[in-house]
């Protein structure tokens, strides 16, 4: 038996034993035997009655021994449906500091796997999560502040998280398998997983980089495995399979279950079948008729399988391979292709004829039922699952080598909390920037230091049996260290044209009231002010060193009422448009200032819209003279002021309207230089050549004269 391989496929409904012989690089089926369970000793791929299962194993073993001699060692597989799959999330605080190393992301992913392991243990109501071995995980998505993102590298935010779907093999599955074999006087020669076994013989190593789904449709469950990048990336199971279809046939045609199962196979192989129902009536069932009766159940099966594939893989795979007896379900390939939006030729049933290194022989069984048993025999010898023992911080950790084991796998199984192995973040700095409080976080704590056999490494480093893995807590992060330029940015300069002369304006930083350079390192509780905007009011002190340009309003109070006098205010023009002193100046703006004038009493009357004087024009001895008569009496501090009197800001004035009186001849003497008292002789007054007196009224345009 040195060149022969004995393998057992211990399924939910039956146990199949198969003997292969190796011929150079190929394998040849020598014999096989299948025995169904007499009771429900297997459920969902897990042994529930070790004694009953061992009895069936012993029968299969003895049947083959009768022809081929003693069998002591056997290759077996843990069923894919025994695997446990769960989702979990892990989150880290970023505080706006980007992740710059892939190693940080790997640690985050491993923390999520650990969370999944603990979650699974809680769901299974056991405290020892070490009883679950991780056999693979896939990333569902990354998030920054609860927004999905493609990659975490160089992304900033408050929090980063990853959600994974991880698959675990319960320790009890292997232990019960060993117990059943032991009671049948068999020793486990090698162990594999059923999905790995099927993929190993159906997908050449050079093709395992492709994203392919393998679906083993058995009696009670459909087991799913996803390959990608040269490995089995994810596993899943749905509790719907071939029995659902057989039951539908049984119900539709009144057949007992075994006959319904055989009818399904006959119709698939021959196109039709003659059957007798439980009432004794014979019926010929065609393929098309069968499809019509079971289509809803096939749709349901395909939907459940497609949903699980999309959950595990996030997207439709490149192709789907179907094995197992349930893969013979009519129309399953077409309907599943439709559910996954794949071409029909990308979903196919694979039988043992697809196993490339298998020699054809008369003993070779037909169909997809035996792909997994043959795969177990070949894969268990070529790629067996071994127990590997490593030391993690001097603690012995045992793992199943279902794939190339890494440092990360050892950390998970050792129960080390990756996040707690990081150094603590450095202390934060609290500052106030332009009145707003800001927290500047300290530097990230350093990642844990990993080494294998004394050599520094990463979580992705492969490990071997008896390797020594050391994990040291990372160093604490440094306190927040940031300059003004890093915190605020380099403030740009501006060129302002003041009265057509270019003036360069530089922004300034002020810390606790003192001007600072941009390289200043910010300290806790600093009060920082920076000039991001420049208004006219901010700009004027740079061009008006003496303070002569006052941008103040000019007002006086008349009879206790405030009156603003614009002529007394400085006028501001930005790009030829009048503006206020709070106008923000931009680069290359043109600023023009028109200085204020000193207001006169006459300007006050203009603003008030009042007539200050009554005026008439007359001619005296041929000379043109204008006469004025004030309409109002205006006093400041009790003294009368005239029209040409200059006003001061905030003067208090009293104004009183005068009674309007007619102009008389005598008024002319206020405007001419004649001293009548010094004139000798008689004189006569004339208005328009008519004799008149001093108190005679005069009108606009009158001709006045005096003669001696």
Q: Supply the pLDDT for residue 546.
A: 62
Q: Supply the pLDDT for residue 550.
A: 65
Q: Supply the pLDDT for residue 383.
A: 67
Beta strands in 1-45 (DSSP E): 4-10, 14-23, 26-36, 42-43
pLDDT tens for 148-181 read 888 888 888 888 999 888 878 887 888 888 888 9
**Residue 564 β-bridge partners:** 555
For residues 184 and 15, the answer to whether their CB atoms sit within 8 Å is no
Which residues of the chain carry a pLDDT beneath 70?
Answer: 1-2, 40, 43-46, 80-81, 127-129, 362-365, 380-381, 383-387, 402-403, 490-492, 506, 531-533, 545-551, 675-681
CATH number for the 482-597 domain, one of 3.10.20, 3.40.50, 3.30.2010, 3.90.1200?
A: 3.10.20
**Residue 577 β-bridge partners:** 574
Q: Supply the pLDDT for residue 44.
A: 60
Q: Which two tokens stand for residue 564?
A: 């603003």
The reported pTM is: 0.56
**Dist CA 534 CA 680 (whole Å):** 77
Helix (H) or strand (E) holding 163: strand 159-170
Within 10 angstroms of residue 252's Cβ, the number of other Cβ atoms is 16
CA 616 to chain centre: 86
CA 6 to chain centre: 52
How large is the angle between the packed helices 332-339 and 287-313, nearest 10 degrees? 40
Q: What CATH architecture does domain 205-354 belong to?
A: 2-Layer Sandwich (3.30)
Percent of the chain surpassing pLDDT 90: 16
Domain with CATH 3.30.420.40 in the chain: 205-354
Q: What CATH architecture does domain 386-478 belong to?
A: Roll (3.10)
Domain with CATH 3.10.20 in the chain: 386-478, 482-597
**Dist CA 143 CA 160 (whole Å):** 6
Q: Supply the pLDDT for residue 238.
A: 87
């Amino acid at each position: 038996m040195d060149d022969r391989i004995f393998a057992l496929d211990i399924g939910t409904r039956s146990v199949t034993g198969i003997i292969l012989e190796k011929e150079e690089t190929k394998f040849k089926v020598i014999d096989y035997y299948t025995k169904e369970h007499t009771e429900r000793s297997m459920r969902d791929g897990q042994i529930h009655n070790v004694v009953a299962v061992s009895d069936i194993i012993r029968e299969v073993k003895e049947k083959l021994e009768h022809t081929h001699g003693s069998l002591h060692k056997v290759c077996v597989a843990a069923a894919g449906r025994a695997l446990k799959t769960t989702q979990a999330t892990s989150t880290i605080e970023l505080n706006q500091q980007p992740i710059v190393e892939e190693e940080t992301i790997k640690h985050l992913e491993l923390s999520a796997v650990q969370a999944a392991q603990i979650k699974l243990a809680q769901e299974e109501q056991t405290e020892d999560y070490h009883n679950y071995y991780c056999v693979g995980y896939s990333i569902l998505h990354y998030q920054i502040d609860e927004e999905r993102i493609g990659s975490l590298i160089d992304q900033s935010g408050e929090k980063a998280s990853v959600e994974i779907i991880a698959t675990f093999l319960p320790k009890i599955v292997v232990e019960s398998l060993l117990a059943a074999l032991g009671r049948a006087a068999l020793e486990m020669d090698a162990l594999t997983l059923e999905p790995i076994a099927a993929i190993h013989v159906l997908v050449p190593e050079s093709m395992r980089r492709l994203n392919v789904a393998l679906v083993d449709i058995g009696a009670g469950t459909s087991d799913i495995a996803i390959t990608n990048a040269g490995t089995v990336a994810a596993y899943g199971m749905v509790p719907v399979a071939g029995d659902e279809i057989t039951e539908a046939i049984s119900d539709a045609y009144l057949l007992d279950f075994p006959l319904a199962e055989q009818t399904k196979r006959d119709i698939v192989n021959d196109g039709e079948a003659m059957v007798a129902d439980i009432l004794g009536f014979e019926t010929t069932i065609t393929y098309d008729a069968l499809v019509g009766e079971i289509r809803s159940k096939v749709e349901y099966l395909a939907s459940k399988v497609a949903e699980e594939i999309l959950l595990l893989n996030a997207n439709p795979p490149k192709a789907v391979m179907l094995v197992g007896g349930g893969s013979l379900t009519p129309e399953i390939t077409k309907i599943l292709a439709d559910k996954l939006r794949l071409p029909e030729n990308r979903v196919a049933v694979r039988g043992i004829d697809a196993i490339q290194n298998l020699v054809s022989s008369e003993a070779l069984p037909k169909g997809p039922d035996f792909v997994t048993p043959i795969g177990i025999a070949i894969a268990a010898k070529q790629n067996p699952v071994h127990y590997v023992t490593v030391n993690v911080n001097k603690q012995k950790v045992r793992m199943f080598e279902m794939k190339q084991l890494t440092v990360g796998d050892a950390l998970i199984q050792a129960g080390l909390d990756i996040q707690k192995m990081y150094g603590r973040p450095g202390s934060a700095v609290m500052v106030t920037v332009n009145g707003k409080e800001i927290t500047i976080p300290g530097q990230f704590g350093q990642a844990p230091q990993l080494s294998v056999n004394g050599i520094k490494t990463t979580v992705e480093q492969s490990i071997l049996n008896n390797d020594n893995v050391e994990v040291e807590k990372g160093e604490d992060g440094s306190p927040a260290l940031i300059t003004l330029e890093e915190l605020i940015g380099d403030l740009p300069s501006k060129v302002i044209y003041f009265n057509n002369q270019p003036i360069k304006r530089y922004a300034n930083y002020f810390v606790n009231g003192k001007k600072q350079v941009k390289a200043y390192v910010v300290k806790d509780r600093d009060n920082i002010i920076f000039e991001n905007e420049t208004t006219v009011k901010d700009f004027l002190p740079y061009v008006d060193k003496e303070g002569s340009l006052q941008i103040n309003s000019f007002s006086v109070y008349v009879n206790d009422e405030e009156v603003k006098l614009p002529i007394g205010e400085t006028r501001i023009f930005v790009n030829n448009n009048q503006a206020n002193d709070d106008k923000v100046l931009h680069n290359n703006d043109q600023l023009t200032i028109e200085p204020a004038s000193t207001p006169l009493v006459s300007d006050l009357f203009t603003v008030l819209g009042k007539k200050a004087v009554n005026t008439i024009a007359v001619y005296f001895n041929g000379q043109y003279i204008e006469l004025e008569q004030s309409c109002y009496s205006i006093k400041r501090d009790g003294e009368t002021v005239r029209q040409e009197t200059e006003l001061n800001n905030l003067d208090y004035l009293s104004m009183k309207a005068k009674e309007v009186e007619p102009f008389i001849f005598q008024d002319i003497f206020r405007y001419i230089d004649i001293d009548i008292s010094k004139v000798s002789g008689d004189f006569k007054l004339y208005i328009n050549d008519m004799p008149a007196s001093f108190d005679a009224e005069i009108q606009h345009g009158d001709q006045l004269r005096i003669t001696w």
